[in-house]
Structure 1
Amino acid sequence: IILFDQRGSGQSLPFGELEHNTTPDLLDDMERIRTHLAISQWLVFCGSWGGALALLYAQRHPDRVLGLVIRAVFLVRQQDLDWFAKDGANRLFPEQWQQLLDSIPADSDIIGGLCAALWGDDELAQRRAARAWMAWGGQVTLGHGYQDPRLSVAHITETMVRQVRMELHYAQHRYFLTPNQILDNCASLAAIPTVIIHGRLDWVCPIEAGYRLHLALPHARYIVLDQAGHIAQGADMIDALVTATDAFTASGFAYGS
């Protein structure tokens, strides 16, 4: 099992570095890892933004992918970006959305206003913006199970600010993709065994995206978990992911085709 953190994130160094940090760079990194480890083909297993990267990687290198396990489908369409940061999830969690709005100038769009604060000279404004974005993400990800820690601005570290900058660096550039890029190139995945697993209670990446991907990849196994949300750690999601990977191994990587 090979795990890696994308450029500038997690344990990848330098942490928070945005230069030469685009989606094509991340796809190049995945291929470098494969060649460095002398792996001829591999099963690619990812969720959410990672799942989008997995699909993009497989579209670029279909001959290197034994299979795909995609959780919490994120297609990076404009409607997906708008759902999270413009008009969609805000109607589910209006109180937390208002806190996000309160962190930026009244005449700003969410992404633009947050970016202006995060890259501005006012350190206090940077921390407020980071705190508001993290709280919004936690609320939408965990739903009614979220408990806002209500951190004071003083508890927002430089690491947290850099983490949020990384997220918004990609969001403000539309993840460095052309409109509808993933769905428009799904024909190249027709020969790759694929499993799509999506929670019906996913408020970050609504289930419509999983269904749309299944329509574009009719050969794929499409699994809906009625009580699962966005995260991978729920019991139903864990069982489904383990079952999918075990089935790939047992079938000689024919599962999902």
Structure 2
Amino acid sequence: MLEVCVEDGAGMAAARAGGAARLELCVALDLGGLTPPASLLALAAEQSLPVHALSRPRPGDFVYNPRDAALVRADLADFAQAGLAGAVIGCGSRQGLDRAVLAEWVDHARHLQAARGVPFSLTLHRVFDLLDDPLEGLEIAVELGFDRILTSGGAVRAGEAVGRFAALVEAARGRIAIMAGGGLEVGAIAALRAVGVREFHASCRSPVPKACVDARLIELGFQAGRGRQTDTARVAAFAAATA
């Protein structure tokens, strides 16, 4: 199945039109994604597709102090209250996942799930790609009760890590889904499917046409360059390759 990462209403519409099966909602994709605002959560809740929202309170690393951790906990409540289908979270460093913080978040999410009476899916995000020992990280994710791991296999582009994906799928043994994402191209999907990957994640963006760019916005610092937007045709190509 195909999950498309979007950061605005136009992206949601383009992903849906192109045949995405699920959306990941965030903002600031050029920074790897940050937590979306309440207004976007409300719009996402109106979509006909399941939506998982990213909770990442700041750019940079994933070593969180108590203030950061509290923000993620609050985000989880906001996502559940908005009626979204799940959340994307992660905490740790190269030395390993922060088991204590993650356990607290997962426990909180499961209580929210019980309170609303419907499933609330949890994805461990690409902090996983920083780990010196990803197989240990996989076992911790399984132990904590995550539903899936989003990973590029530790590579800049997921298609460059087919062998690592094979090892992860084998180690997972069906206990947790391995979702390939991060620089993913359509041409890499067949090889990833061949080693057992069944979920794929991509932003499916293309550069904004030059004719649609206001140079004054760039000049005043309101926009950085041409930017990129979710491309329905690219979503359709990914959807066809993952079908």
TM bin (shorter chain): 0.3 to 0.5
Higher normalized helix content (fraction of residues): 1
| TM-score, scaled to structure 2 | 0.33
TM-score with structure 1 setting the length: 0.31
